Structure 1
Amino acid sequence: MSFAATTMLYFLLFTFIYLLFKLFLHPKQNTINHKKPPGPPTLPIIGNLHMLGKLPHRTLQSLSKRYGPIMSLQLGQVPTIVISSSKGAESFLKTHDIVFASRPKIQGSELMSYGSKGLPFSEYGPYWRSMRKFCTLKLLSASKVEKSGPIRKEELGVLVNTLKKASLVGEVVNVSEIVENLIEDIVYKMILGRGKYEQFDLKKMIKDGLTLMGAFNLADYVPWLGIFDLQGLTQACKKTSKALDEVLEMIITEHEQTTNTDDPKDFVDTVLSIMHQTIDVEGGQDLVIDRTIIKAILLDMIGASIDTSSNVIEWALSELLRHPRVMKILQDEIQNEVGNKRMVEEKDLKNFNYLDMVVDETLRLYPVAPLLIPRECRENITIDDYSIKEKTRVIVNAWAIGRDPDVWSENAEEFYPERFIEKKMNYLGQEFESIPFGSGRRRCPGIQLGMITVKLVIAQFVHCFNWELPHNISPSNLNMEEKFGLTIPRAQHLHAIPSYRLDDAKLE
């Protein structure tokens, strides 16, 4: 019997046993009617899992139009609330933030993030609070971001010279690839203190890991199906996790042999400088920074930096190529400020109002994470007359919120930066019409670093070069499909032809 047939047989057998249990053996539920948010009908065992499709953020947006912005789903055995409006997001992520501040345990983070020790996936409590404070102060503070400025400057200078040579022969360049490589080089030098390792492809491992953690894993929703690994995700997670662990061990060992902990040079040095130290946490327990925690932090920092920034830059450049009017306005703004004899400096960024609008509009349409990392209800609570039980999972559809026509008007699907002329976004958790970095206690701590990198790269690309699509592609037929995961990269790489537009530009 084939594997597929055996799997189906097991599934049908357990379905039958489960239905017998529900019908005859399960204790009767309390008859008190707890009002749940509206939602679609469910199937036995899998609930609504079959409805999610390949692009769950789009499917959930469509369902929310039928059942409402606060919608109830049953994902396997997990009761789930899906939020698709700014008002709902504000209620869950601000008004009742502490109730929904924790994370559910999911197989991907347990296997890939050392038992969910990474900052994004750890449950709310003393450990998470202590590690967030450490990462914010020691790794992501304003002074640390400023200190890494020369790295961004150097790597962008090298790339501009490479693109300048390509422009001389009218070469079609893979914009997605060069942006990813640029961000990878910046991140490695900032975090690891060096460029790429030739003996392994860390970027690919990270991207594979993010894809696996973003997948809807049956084991997370129907735990007893986990032993069969029907999707192959458990095996894939273990394989990728093992490969990443070997790489991180090598990186840490390399730094241990060369680091002067009294004078840390990069992120790894900084983390190693507090190895074995004890952090006083709440509840009377002390936290010792061990090797596992260090690897979890490094994995967070590398993964969160490479994929997120490169995706935002790629989507921004894609929309600029589709909208020559917007590209021209942005180029004129930058040229009026810095002239055409030098490249953009980070100190110039504060003067580019239209660039801010372009980035805000890109983040509205293409948030860093289409579905924010799920939260978990820590206690029974009633919101808007809906009864929400402890352990209910909460998914915030940031992608749908940014495209809500009730907030952004009927042209919500259109790339139109001017909508931000009188609306300044700071992404610090007080505005819920667009929440690309999340909000509340679980908001992304690396916003400042990410925004500076994104804005500088976009500004440099459009200031130093004019860009055209390949001859067989027009702005109206450029493929803008996305892939789903923790992030939403382009489904197809972006290709374009650069032409150098400055007069012997130099970095000052």
Structure 2
Amino acid sequence: MSFNLQVLIFASLPFILALFVLKSYVSPSNSHKDLPPSPPKLPIIGNLHQLGSSPHRALHAMAQTYGPLMLIRLGSVPVLVASSVEAALEIMKPHDLVFSNRPKLSIPSRILYSSKDIAFSPYGEYWRQIKSIAVLHLLSNKRVQSYRHVREEEMALVIDKIQKADGSVVNLSELLISLTNNVICRVALGRKYEGGKFNNLLHRAVGLLGCFSVGSYIPCLRWVDKLSGLERRVDKVAKEFDEFLEGVIYEHVNKKGGDVKCQDLVDVLLDIQRNNMTGFPLENEMIKALILDMFLAGTDTTFTSLEWAICEVLRHPQAMKELQEEALKIGQGRSMIAEDQLEKMVYLNAVLKETLRLHSPIPLLVPRTQVYINAWAISRDPSMWEAPEEFRPERFLNNPIDYKGFHFELIPFGAGRRGCPGIQFAMIINQFALANLVYKFDLAVVGKDSLDISETNGLAVHKKRPLLVSATPSV
């Protein structure tokens, strides 16, 4: 975001100076008394220059002055920012329908087939149909459970790699990325696509979805996106992903036989297409957009939450001790903690809830119409949380607050109609992986930077530095 913004400010400087001169001679005729409080803004770019590299933190700081419901300008676009439980609840519950649309953003539109996916498609009949397909056929409890063997096999491979390191340094961040990507590859596409090419493509696409497009907010300055090379990079990634997914669909259409019980998500979508199980033709572009949703939303947010959880328990030895004791009690010497045992791990789930509170994967959620909900600020509100900056999993013991969209103090996955439909799919990976890592190994941090909690932004907010550990068997 920072490079494009610097180009934008430099390019806009003559216009800004001219408008400042004009503004000194002309007074606004409308006082806008009924609008929420607004911070001062610059002509053309509005408040864009104030967002910096961490918009969720900048908006949280601004809310301390202008209140939990404020109006800012991103270029020519007025945007409402909600930073309190009360404001979020009003937007996502009684007024959920009014705020269920998505703004038209250039980058998601180019990568996701004119926003034919679930996350970015406009609210309406098409969105309702594809969300219904996802909820009923791709993300149902039965479907998620059917891929249990995939999670078990991939987790066993991670454990094996750590064991083979024999106490030497392990880049746990890389292993967690690999675990998440491999699970989703097998579930969505039927097999793993290992190697640098696919991972590089996925990394570039996720990075671009986290970029700021000047043209989306200041149409007259769309040329800045071209000048910076952003449009070219987006179109290149979109083309490469389309070619990859065309190949995947071709493989699935032409494969012979196969076990219906082991269908991947492409198989399921092609069955729906062939049997005309929807009220409209399910075109290949729609299938590709849905599969891209799984990768671009699922891999990044799932991996980053798991990485933050391990980082936090390593930073807090007492939390690690309690988590490991619980895991050893549940595991009872078996080779692995089974998924059906995870619901008994009360402290494990408290650790994950506390991680999601402190490290919301997408801090501002996906914007609704022209509304940003600062989930990161809400989960650190001192009026709602005692010692909000501290990592205290105990706050969720004997506490009904959950992350599924019914408690607005904790909404890392959103809520209402546009809440994330893949919560169960993501969280079972996190629960299973975290439980078995602490069950199988005593983890020790290598290097002082490993526990640094500095952030880097993209589609999700990542830990800036990789998590390097040494691991010795705990059982």
For normalisation by structure 2, the TM-score amounts to 0.93
Instruction: Decide which of 443, 457, 476 is 2:419's aligned counterpart.
Output: 443
Aligned to 1:101: 100
What is the distance in 2 between the residues matched to 1:81 and 1:458? Answer: 37
- Residue 261 of structure 1 contacts residue 269 of structure 1 at CA under 8 Å; is this kept in 2? no
Instruction: Decide which of 431, 445, 452 is 1:469's aligned counterpart.
Output: 445
Kindly tell me: are residues 10 and 85 of structure 1, through their superposed partners in 2, closer, same or farther at Cα, counting changes over 3 Å? closer
What is the distance in 2 between the residues matched to 1:105 and 1:499? Answer: 50
Kindly tell me: are residues 11 and 153 of structure 1, through their superposed partners in 2, closer, same or farther at Cα, counting changes over 3 Å? same
Kindly tell me: are residues 44 and 280 of structure 1, through their superposed partners in 2, closer, same or farther at Cα, counting changes over 3 Å? same
Aligned to 1:382: none
What is the distance in 1 between the residues matched to 2:23 and 2:296? Answer: 42
- Residue 102 of structure 2 contacts residue 368 of structure 2 at CA under 8 Å; is this kept in 1? yes
Deviation at 1:103, TM superposition (A): 0.1
* 2:249 is the alignment partner of 1:272: no
Aligned to 2:293: 300
- Residue 114 of structure 1 contacts residue 292 of structure 1 at CA under 8 Å; is this kept in 2? yes
What is the distance in 2 between the residues matched to 1:277 and 1:497? Answer: 52
CA RMSD, Structure 1 to Structure 2 (Å)? 2.6
**1:188-337 equivalence runs, <5 A:** 188-198=185-195, 201-229=197-225, 230-258=227-255, 260=257, 263=260, 265-275=263-273, 287-337=280-330
Q: Which amino acid aligns with 1:185?
A: N
Deviation at 1:194, TM superposition (A): 0.8
**1:152-191 equivalence runs, <5 A:** 152-166=151-165, 168=166, 170-191=167-188
Aligned to 1:434: 410
Aligned to 2:335: 342
**1:395-474 equivalence runs, <5 A:** 395-409=372-386, 411-470=387-446, 472-473=447-448
What is the distance in 2 between the residues matched to 1:403 and 1:261? Answer: 49
Deviation at 1:456, TM superposition (A): 0.4
Deviation at 1:484, TM superposition (A): 1.3
Aligned to 2:471: 498
- Residue 364 of structure 1 contacts residue 399 of structure 1 at CA under 8 Å; is this kept in 2? yes
- Residue 455 of structure 2 contacts residue 462 of structure 2 at CA under 8 Å; is this kept in 1? yes
- Residue 176 of structure 1 contacts residue 494 of structure 1 at CA under 8 Å; is this kept in 2? yes
Q: Secondary structure at the match of 1:405?
A: coil
Q: Secondary structure at the match of 2:398?
A: coil
Q: Deviations over 1:243-267 (max 9, x none)?
A: 1111111111111111559937211
Q: Which moved more, 1:39-48 or 1:241-250?
A: 241-250
Deviation at 1:368, TM superposition (A): 2.2
What is the distance in 2 between the residues matched to 1:164 and 1:292? Answer: 42
What is the distance in 1 between the residues matched to 2:83 and 2:59? Answer: 8
Q: Which moved more, 1:14-23 or 1:245-254?
A: 14-23
What is the distance in 2 between the residues matched to 1:419 and 1:202? Answer: 40
Q: Which moved more, 1:331-340 or 1:122-131?
A: 331-340
Q: Deviations over 1:147-172 (max 9, x none)?
A: 00011111111221221121x3x211
- Residue 217 of structure 1 contacts residue 231 of structure 1 at CA under 8 Å; is this kept in 2? no
- Residue 64 of structure 1 contacts residue 70 of structure 1 at CA under 8 Å; is this kept in 2? yes
Kindly tell me: are residues 205 and 100 of structure 1, through their superposed partners in 2, closer, same or farther at Cα, counting changes over 3 Å? same
- Residue 320 of structure 1 contacts residue 327 of structure 1 at CA under 8 Å; is this kept in 2? yes
* 2:43 is the alignment partner of 1:44: yes
Kindly tell me: are residues 465 and 65 of structure 1, through their superposed partners in 2, closer, same or farther at Cα, counting changes over 3 Å? same
- Residue 64 of structure 1 contacts residue 84 of structure 1 at CA under 8 Å; is this kept in 2? yes
What is the distance in 1 between the residues matched to 2:224 and 2:391? Answer: 44
Aligned to 1:59: 58
- Residue 130 of structure 1 contacts residue 279 of structure 1 at CA under 8 Å; is this kept in 2? no
Kindly tell me: are residues 361 and 486 of structure 1, through their superposed partners in 2, closer, same or farther at Cα, counting changes over 3 Å? same
Deviation at 1:444, TM superposition (A): 0.5
Aligned to 1:123: 122
Kindly tell me: are residues 138 and 22 of structure 1, through their superposed partners in 2, closer, same or farther at Cα, counting changes over 3 Å? farther
Q: Secondary structure at the match of 2:408?
A: coil
Q: Secondary structure at the match of 2:121?
A: coil
Kindly tell me: are residues 12 and 61 of structure 1, through their superposed partners in 2, closer, same or farther at Cα, counting changes over 3 Å? closer
Q: Secondary structure at the match of 1:300?
A: helix
Q: Deviations over 1:308-352 (max 9, x none)?
A: 111111000000110110011011112122213431000110110
What is the distance in 2 between the residues matched to 1:296 and 1:462? Answer: 36
What is the distance in 1 between the residues matched to 2:252 and 2:28? Answer: 58
Number of matched pairs: 469
Q: Which amino acid aligns with 1:245?
A: D
What is the distance in 2 between the residues matched to 1:280 and 1:469? Answer: 51
Q: Which moved more, 1:429-438 or 1:227-236?
A: 227-236
Q: Deviations over 1:62-92 (max 9, x none)?
A: 1111111111101100001111111111011
What is the distance in 2 between the residues matched to 1:5 and 1:323? Answer: 39
What is the distance in 2 between the residues matched to 1:322 and 1:344? Answer: 24
- Residue 331 of structure 2 contacts residue 439 of structure 2 at CA under 8 Å; is this kept in 1? no
Deviation at 1:136, TM superposition (A): 0.7
Aligned to 2:363: 370
Q: Secondary structure at the match of 1:79?
A: strand
Kindly tell me: are residues 278 and 20 of structure 1, through their superposed partners in 2, closer, same or farther at Cα, counting changes over 3 Å? farther
Kindly tell me: are residues 95 and 225 of structure 1, through their superposed partners in 2, closer, same or farther at Cα, counting changes over 3 Å? same
Q: Secondary structure at the match of 2:384?
A: helix
Aligned to 1:484: 457
Deviation at 1:242, TM superposition (A): 1.2
Task: Work out the percentage of aligned pairs sharing the same amino acid.
Answer: 38
Where structure 2 has 5 or more consecutive residues not aligned to the other structure, the ranges are none
Q: Secondary structure at the match of 2:376?
A: helix
Q: Which moved more, 1:115-124 or 1:485-494?
A: 485-494
Deviation at 1:11, TM superposition (A): 3.5
What is the distance in 2 between the residues matched to 1:428 and 1:417? Answer: 17
Where structure 1 has 5 or more consecutive residues not aligned to the other structure, the ranges are 282-286, 377-392, 503-508
What is the distance in 1 between the residues matched to 2:9 and 2:68? Answer: 35
Aligned to 1:87: 86
Deviation at 1:489, TM superposition (A): 1.1
* 2:43 is the alignment partner of 1:68: no
Kindly tell me: are residues 407 and 172 of structure 1, through their superposed partners in 2, closer, same or farther at Cα, counting changes over 3 Å? same
Q: Which moved more, 1:4-13 or 1:323-332?
A: 4-13
